[in-house]
Amino acid sequence: MQRISELERKYVMEVLDSQFRTSAGSMMTKRLEEKFAEVFQCKYAISFINGTATLHAALVAAGIGPGDEVIVPPLTMASTSFAVLHAGAIPVFADIDPYTWTIDPKSIEDRITSQTKAIIPVAIYGLAPDMDAIMNIAKRYNLFVLEDDAQCFLGYYKGRIVGSIGHAASFSFQSSKHISSGEGGMIATSDEELANNIRRFGSLGYGAVGAGAGKGKISKETIQDPKYERHISMGWNYRMPELCAAVALGQIERLQELVNMRQKVAKLYSEAIAGCGWMISQSVPEGFVHSYWTYAVKLENNPQFNWVDFRNKYMELGGDGIYAAWQLTYLEPVFQRTSYHFSTLSPPIRRIQNFKLGLCPVAESLQPLLLQFKTNYLDIDVASQKVEALSKSISYFTR
């Protein structure tokens, strides 16, 4: 299997053959958005330049702004929280479940104040959070739910595809993701007003753009009118280039194949660690389907070896490098340097949490112990060699 196949090359050549004529419009973007909406069972799919711009646009489109609080998990890429700051709002960190490692609904409810306006649950490593519990909380407190599904393509939650449950869902096409166009992202929603707002925010506030597929550019007939008033709201230029859309279209048409390979690799890892009491995989509740952006395990504390010892032995025996989990977002230097307000924002906002150890104890205890194994192998034989290295490493430290 190839990461980029002849299908993607064919679509890219169609764009190049168009010579980027204005009359060609957004032909690949339109096709991509239509196909994405079909796969993820939503009315509208809106393409973006990356999966951080998607989060930013969705929050602003939902009316989130300065002084508002948005509840986020600490165990994920910092972009989730940065997007909240981009919107001028305040990220509030809720702890995670000790077994699934996704955001804990009980902790979410504990963090809600009169300023809370939204929740961003993250499908960490490819596993959905407890979305029913989260949506029930959101309904009680009238909160906007924006799924961050950058790591979850074709994951399922109780029979529903992940990305179709919240008010909107954000996906990333960054190079490590299930779908990749180098960079890119997508927002999925079935709310027409929200989709219109998202499209305009990502398209310089043009009044003529809209929710539907390929509506990110204004027509030649419209723009040639001397009386045309272009910008009805503030917006950013977050639109996806046609070349990226062409690659992403080929990838979405091959999505099941790409996800299946990661799931096969994950199954091999699960077989390798079966019976190892000091290596614990992420718990997948009944009714959930994990899409395995990566295969993560917790390495229990052991006086005879540590995280680095295991990684080094694994690599010595033929394994690839093992990725560590991200530092918890609120422990990153950019948050640690903040005292009582974010002075870079206008107007400055007060900090409602102390960004220090003790804020999310479950996440803090887990993060240093996580091993993230690659699943994006395109050859099952190569993946099997890495899994064999894992088995040998386990045997070495079990002696």
Residues serving a catalytic function are 177
Please list the alpha-helical segments (H only) found in the chain. Answer: 6-17, 27-39, 53-61, 79-86, 105-111, 131-141, 192-201, 220-223, 242-253, 255-273, 307-316, 333-336, 361-366, 380-398
pLDDT tens track for 25-75: 678 999 999 999 999 999 999 999 999 999 999 999 999 999 899 999 999
- Residue 23: its pLDDT value, please? 63
Q: For the chain, what percent of residues have pLDDT higher than 90?
A: 80
pLDDT tens track for 195-250: 999 999 998 888 767 656 555 555 566 666 676 767 888 888 999 999 999 999 99
Q: Would you say residue 353 has pLDDT above 90?
A: no
- Give the model's confidence band at 267: pLDDT under 50 very low, under 70 low, under 90 confident, else very high: very high
- Residue 342: its pLDDT value, please? 47
Neighbours of 104 (CB within 10 A): 23
- Residue 221: its pLDDT value, please? 63
On whether the CB atoms of residues 318 and 312 are closer than 8 A, the answer is no
Q: Would you say residue 294 has pLDDT above 60?
A: yes
The domain spans of the chain are 6-254, 256-398
The domain made up of 6-254 has a fold known as: Aspartate Aminotransferase; domain 2 (3.40.640)
Q: What does pTM read for this prediction?
A: 0.92
Q: Would you say residue 339 has pLDDT above 50?
A: no
Question: Counting Cβ atoms within 10 Å, is residue 362 exposed (0-12), middle (13-18) or buried (19+)?
Answer: middle
CATH of 256-398, one of 3.30.70.1400, 3.30.365.10, 3.90.1150.10, 3.40.50.720: 3.90.1150.10
Q: Would you say residue 160 has pLDDT above 80?
A: yes
205 to 77, 144, 233: CA distances (angstroms): 28, 22, 5
